[in-house]
A and B are shown apart, each in its own frame.
Chain A
């Protein structure tokens, strides 16, 4: 589904990604772990097509198609979704209206008519249950005055609504208490199927107790330096990031 080859990228003359490789097949869950400032969010933003980054080398293939030059909305229409580390407030725009616009723009891109009101409302109802969001919540301005947990649950709700192929979660667990973490993880697990894939970026292994990954990658200084299964996350938890650093130094 996703194949990133030797990706180098910079922001304002500063090289952040330094030869990143990853391959994600459908049906898989990959975790990317790594210390702060290592380029995890940068990688997520570049995948989603955010402005301001310069790709100096490498390729990003989504279902075999090079997407580096596509604008973010086009990538979304192809089925890419990013759950933001810091979801953005849009005053006066309810989650309901936001989702309606998003779904209809995607339908338009695929030559489909706008979604019918009834179908939309039923979908909202069903999907909001997944992350235990109540109705009142969906009529409020999106992310405005939401708690950290509410913002993250809202991100997963949107993911459920848009039914993407590739879901990138950027530190969705940070700042969540254990209950919110459980809700978010349950939401993600219920969306897993053989046709989609997840890229879960996290700083702590805690989340991976709930969302069990098929692969764990350790990212350091702009590239993936170690790949393993879920046991790697536990090992990392026990030994700390210094272990990775010292191993690298030995090589």
Chain B
């Protein structure tokens, strides 16, 4: 009766509603539709940017014009009309806020729905949150406590104003505008995002967190995040995303750059649940993100952890350039796709320094008619003596209409390099389900249990509160309408 329990899984996984589908009714200020040099100038002027920033954007725009959209990822979607997107939207009132009470009530409502109300913040206690609604960062908390330690945590727009030299030094140093089509686009029109600087020898005392949300209709969201950890410092950064439910597709093309100096460590965690589209594949976010970190210094470490449950299309490869000797790169990923979602995600570990190590743990779960691909590159360059990579890519299939694909690329240019790769594809076993059922655990709960177990290695890398949220999201994504 294999078919029967597969049917249960199919029903379970196809009738999920997006929990975050609402819009916030605040006055918005938009740029004109479409993209041109004028729009780039408009955005820069709106943000009152210095000349060098405008020049940088314009150069990126010129490069973008000459580039073509990549088509090598295992994704199928209609061509995006880049002239039908609004590249800038901001709430009209420009609040400079000192406490939660001053936040626009409509925005507060959004926060409530997102589950990040003031109470929640108190509960999370140790989380400083930078909330980005469309293009404008409207609220930053815990700033003072961080200031005392010399930690800078603010919006990238503010950083451009206040810490121009730092931004100028690092922006584009890890992901140059010309890196790819979307990074060039982002560089030209990025609206806001977060900036973090941890000074030498400082251990950031709390998790830094940004909650991104696409709100305005027809707006692309182009965040730009830059995190610099100076020598002997440590920071853990959390990024969470949701978007309102809309029929048309929304574009999201972020760039995240991380720089870790000598013995510094950056831990970057993402829980992404942008709107995935409905069960017929209508609507949903196109998520084309470039995330890259450089382990610049000796014994530095960068660790990416991501839980991807949302978006109609995800195209994302958080990567590490292991330049410093003895540096370490890690990538832990859970990607869940359902209905007509498509995910093409993975990582690149570029070993340049000697004795560098990297570890990749990727867990893909496909349900419905979705397609889920892991694409990874491990490259050991000629001077990277004694470098080592371990990769593990596991896929789990639910039902017979979905697909899992693994594309591990390995380039070893140094004899002493070692690369180990393990891969598996499984279905949730009949025997496992029966074993759970016999103990009184019903079909739905059994699937949760088995799936959570499958993802455990990744979840345990997440900060506690995030892990709980990730587990819930996974269950929502694979939810049964019954029970």
B residues 403-447 touching A (CB-CB < 8 Å): 429-432, 434-443, 445
CB-contact partner of A88 in B1, B431, B456, under 8 A: B431
Q: Are B434 and A101 touching (Cβ within 8 A)?
A: no
Least Cβ–Cβ distance between B382 and chain A, in angstroms: 38
Q: Are A97 and B449 touching (Cβ within 8 A)?
A: yes
Q: Are A50 and B449 touching (Cβ within 8 A)?
A: no
Q: Are A102 and B4 touching (Cβ within 8 A)?
A: no
Q: How far is the CA of A2 from the CA of B61 in the complex (A)?
A: 77
Interface residues on B, range: 20 to 34
CB contacts (< 8 Å) of A105 on chain B: these are 440-442, 445
B452 at the interface (CB under 8 A from A): yes
A residues 72-113 touching B (CB-CB < 8 Å): 72-73, 76-77, 81-82, 84, 87-93, 97-98, 101-102, 105-106, 109
Interface readout for A132-171 with B: 1 if CB under 8 Å, 0 if not?
A: 0000000001000000000000000010001000000000
Q: How far is the CA of A38 from the CA of B456 in the complex (A)?
A: 41
B129 at the interface (CB under 8 A from A): no
Interface centre among B5, B430, B445, B453 (most CB of A within 10 A): B453
Q: Are A82 and B449 touching (Cβ within 8 A)?
A: no
Q: Are A158 and B439 touching (Cβ within 8 A)?
A: yes
Q: How far is the CA of A52 from the CA of B5 in the complex (A)?
A: 11
B450 at the interface (CB under 8 A from A): yes
B170 at the interface (CB under 8 A from A): no
CB contacts (< 8 Å) of A72 on chain B: these are 434, 437-438
Interface readout for A58-84 with B: 1 if CB under 8 Å, 0 if not?
A: 000000000000011100110001101
B457 at the interface (CB under 8 A from A): yes
B residues 320-351 touching A (CB-CB < 8 Å): none
B56 at the interface (CB under 8 A from A): no
Q: Are B438 and A93 touching (Cβ within 8 A)?
A: no
CB contacts (< 8 Å) of A49 on chain B: these are 437-438
Q: How far is the CA of A42 from the CA of B450 in the complex (A)?
A: 25
CB-contact partner of B437 in A73, A109, A162, under 8 A: A73
CB contacts (< 8 Å) of A97 on chain B: these are 449
B474 at the interface (CB under 8 A from A): no
B254 at the interface (CB under 8 A from A): no
Q: Are A88 and B442 touching (Cβ within 8 A)?
A: no
Least Cβ–Cβ distance between A187 and chain B, in angstroms: 17
Q: Are A101 and B450 touching (Cβ within 8 A)?
A: no
A116 at the interface (CB under 8 A from B): no
B455 at the interface (CB under 8 A from A): yes
Interface centre among A73, A81, A92, A109 (most CB of B within 10 A): A92
B20 at the interface (CB under 8 A from A): no
B454 at the interface (CB under 8 A from A): yes
Q: How far is the CA of A90 from the CA of B428 in the complex (A)?
A: 10
Q: How far is the CA of A11 from the CA of B434 in the complex (A)?
A: 17
CB-contact partner of B435 in A51, A81, A90, under 8 A: A90
Q: How far is the CA of A222 from the CA of B425 in the complex (A)?
A: 37
Q: How far is the CA of A78 from the CA of B430 in the complex (A)?
A: 22
A48 at the interface (CB under 8 A from B): yes
CB contacts (< 8 Å) of A73 on chain B: these are 437-438, 440-443
Least Cβ–Cβ distance between A249 and chain B, in angstroms: 37
Q: Are B442 and A90 touching (Cβ within 8 A)?
A: no
Q: How many pairs, one residue from A and one from B, have CB atoms within 8 Å of each other in the complex?
A: 84
CB-nearest residue of chain A relative to B363?
A: A92
Q: Are B456 and A92 touching (Cβ within 8 A)?
A: yes
CB-nearest residue of chain A relative to B453?
A: A92
Q: How far is the CA of A82 from the CA of B434 in the complex (A)?
A: 11
Q: Are A82 and B457 touching (Cβ within 8 A)?
A: no
CB-contact partner of A76 in B432, B439, B443, under 8 A: B439
Q: How far is the CA of A73 from the CA of B483 in the complex (A)?
A: 14
B residues 1-39 touching A (CB-CB < 8 Å): 1-2, 4-5
Q: Are A82 and B438 touching (Cβ within 8 A)?
A: yes
Q: How far is the CA of A51 from the CA of B436 in the complex (A)?
A: 13
CB contacts (< 8 Å) of A92 on chain B: these are 452-457
Q: How far is the CA of A162 from the CA of B5 in the complex (A)?
A: 25
Q: Are A88 and B432 touching (Cβ within 8 A)?
A: yes
Q: How far is the CA of A82 from the CA of B453 in the complex (A)?
A: 23
Q: Are A101 and B441 touching (Cβ within 8 A)?
A: yes
Given contacts A82-B438, A84-B435, A102-B440, are A52 and B1 in contact (CB under 8 A)?
yes
CB-contact partner of A93 in B429, B430, B449, under 8 A: B449
Given contacts A51-B434, A52-B1, are A93 and B450 in contact (CB under 8 A)?
yes
Least Cβ–Cβ distance between B122 and chain A, in angstroms: 23
CB contacts (< 8 Å) of A50 on chain B: these are 434, 438
CB-contact partner of B453 in A76, A81, A93, A158, under 8 A: A93
Least Cβ–Cβ distance between B145 and chain A, in angstroms: 32
CB contacts (< 8 Å) of B449 on chain A: these are 90, 93, 97-98, 101
Q: Are A90 and B437 touching (Cβ within 8 A)?
A: no
CB contacts (< 8 Å) of A109 on chain B: these are 440
CB-nearest residue of chain B relative to A78?
A: B440
Given contacts A84-B435, A102-B439, A106-B440, are A51 and B4 in contact (CB under 8 A)?
yes
Q: How far is the CA of A93 from the CA of B431 in the complex (A)?
A: 15
**12 A-B contacts (beta carbon < 8 Å):** A49-B437, A50-B438, A51-B430, A72-B438, A73-B443, A88-B429, A88-B432, A91-B453, A92-B453, A101-B445, A158-B439, A162-B439
By Cβ-Cβ distance, the 4 closest A-B pairs, closest first, are A92-B453, A92-B456, A76-B440, A93-B453
* Apart from A73-B438, A76-B440, 19 more pairs, CB < 8 Å: A49-B438, A50-B434, A51-B1, A73-B440, A76-B438, A76-B439, A77-B440, A81-B438, A89-B432, A90-B436, A91-B454, A92-B454, A93-B449, A93-B450, A93-B453, A97-B449, A102-B436, A105-B440, A162-B440
